[in-house]
Chains A and B, each alone.
Chain A
Amino acid sequence: MIRIENAHKRYRWRKVLDGVTFSAEKGQITCLVGMNGAGKSTLLKAIMGLTPLSKGSIRVDGVGSKRELYEKVSFIPDHAAMPGGLRLEEGLQFMADYYKSWNESRAQELMTFFRLNPRDRVGNLSKGTAAKFGLVLGLALDTEFVLMDEPFSGIDVFSREMIGDVFSSRLIEDRGVLVTTHEIDEIEHLLDRAVLLKDGKVVRDIDCEQVRDEQGKSVLDVMREVYRG
């Protein structure tokens, strides 16, 4: 479980996070929903130690140190996070060099699945292809949690479908997934839970099937209530 308690973060004078508390369970797909600038990416970065919180705490079960954190939680930002001059195969080698949890055969499998050319250079990839490569880097790590930042934004429809397929595959099974998005369509029916952020606070924390079951509402309906009302 990843537990975030009372997270506060300011950027200059704006409160990006204003007391956010929620958790993401292992074996579940949890989605952080919010408009642009709602602090979703900041939360993921804070979990990964890529930005400090002004206040609050983050705990990942079974993780005592940063070193363990990066072997147990993988973060897939909305870019490839590699030098543009590197070839994809060199990027994979880089990961293999540093991570014990790197699973080379899975990496190769993913490269084939996404039809990526190992000889291409990172800097020449289109947005969609770069996103796929980012997924290869993140999912080929045998981690317990996977965090994904806006995996669908600005990506062509077929790439979106391919990326969506990942969520129902065994690449994800048994792991905890925390994914941020501001457009829910692609993954709405894949989610276990949705955490809605607004003005730096959690305004709804729902079990998606339960809401459909008991209220006959889609996640999008709940979003409408929150963001349009």
Chain B
Amino acid sequence: MRHYFKLLALEVRRFRWIMVGMMLYTLVVECAAVAIDIHNFANRYGIKEGTREPGVVPQSYSFADVIGNTQGGFALGIFIPVAVLVAYVLVIWYRDWFGRHPFAFRQLMLPGGRIPLYFAKLTAIFLFVFSMLALQLVAMAILKLEYAMVTPELLKEPSRFTDAMYASEIFKLLLPLHFSQFLTNYGMGFLGVLLVFAGILLERSYRIRGIVLAALYLALNITLLVLASMSNELSLYPSETIAVCLTIFGLEVAGAIWLSLKLITRKISA
């Protein structure tokens, strides 16, 4: 366990500046999007310039409205970190094999064994994903403060935090309202990472042949998942459908971990 935590700390350390950079990027983009949106809305009524026509009563503009209208900006702020994290699922392994001083040599020769290495990398990815998610929640609080500061009094209207959150399509995906949906989204993400890890380890073990094996392996797993999701057309009870899906999911998770550990302890080449 000690080895695992040390390796995890090292993974975090090696990614920390990219992480900080992504967090700043997200914050800046989202703050800017909100500021611009409020500014534009206020201008529509000439509030800022003082050219407001006395007869027109401006429509109020709540925080939820702002979030609903800045989805483009949010997509921009979130898409790049998500892309970076997805890429890092690959890079977290390959960075140790390439470069002038391939660290893989050392990592694979640690007396603590290689299983902690696998789980450290896995945990690191999830730590990064959930850190970004947590940041997004913090960002929402910051954005709400920003709203309170920059919105002209005339336009302000209170709104609930959750309404604001779910005014955005992205949030519905990142943080689904229903817990079961949350589990499904992140469960699939988890499985996805496990499968990609197994694919990477296949490639690192068998190189060119490994790529073919990895492609076949991923295709098999995806096919099984699709079949499982289609099982509701077999006129089963909903609980039975869920049971089928959960079973397939569990088998795929266990299979991916088993295969990965087998490869990393026996077959991998530095």
Contact = CB atoms under 8 A, between A and B. Distances in A.
A67 B267 contact: no
A168 interface: no
A51 B102 CA distance: 15
Interface in B16-49: none
Contact of A81 (B10, B14, B103, B269): B103
Interface residues of B, number: 25
Contact of A51 (B106, B265, B270): B270
Nearest to A45: B270
A125 to B, nearest CB: 8
Interface in A86-114: 94, 97-100
A123 interface: yes
Given A12-B208, A79-B100, A83-B103, A48 B111 contact: no
A140 to B, nearest CB: 14
B101 interface: yes
B266 interface: yes
Contact of B100 (A12, A51, A67, A130): A130
Interface size class of A (residues with CB under 8 A): 20 to 34
Contacts of A49: 108-109
Interface string B48-64: 00000000000000000
B6 A81 contact: no
Contacts of B101: 79-84, 122-123, 130
A66 interface: yes
A48 B270 CA distance: 10
B144 interface: no
Nearest to B266: A52
Nearest to B209: A12
Contact of B108 (A50, A67, A71, A97): A50
Contacts of B72: none
B19 to A, nearest CB: 14
A45, A50, A100, A130: residue with the most chain B Cβ atoms closer than 10 Å: A50
A9 B47 CA distance: 77
B14, B105, B108: residue with the most chain A Cβ atoms closer than 10 Å: B105
Given A45-B269, A99-B110, 14 more contacts: A12-B207, A48-B109, A49-B109, A50-B105, A50-B269, A50-B270, A70-B110, A79-B100, A79-B101, A84-B101, A85-B14, A94-B106, A97-B6, A122-B101
6 pairs of A and B residues whose beta carbons are closest in the complex: A81-B105, A50-B270, A51-B269, A80-B101, A81-B106, A70-B111
Interface of A: 12, 45, 48-52, 66-67, 70-71, 75, 77, 79-85, 94, 97-100, 122-123, 130
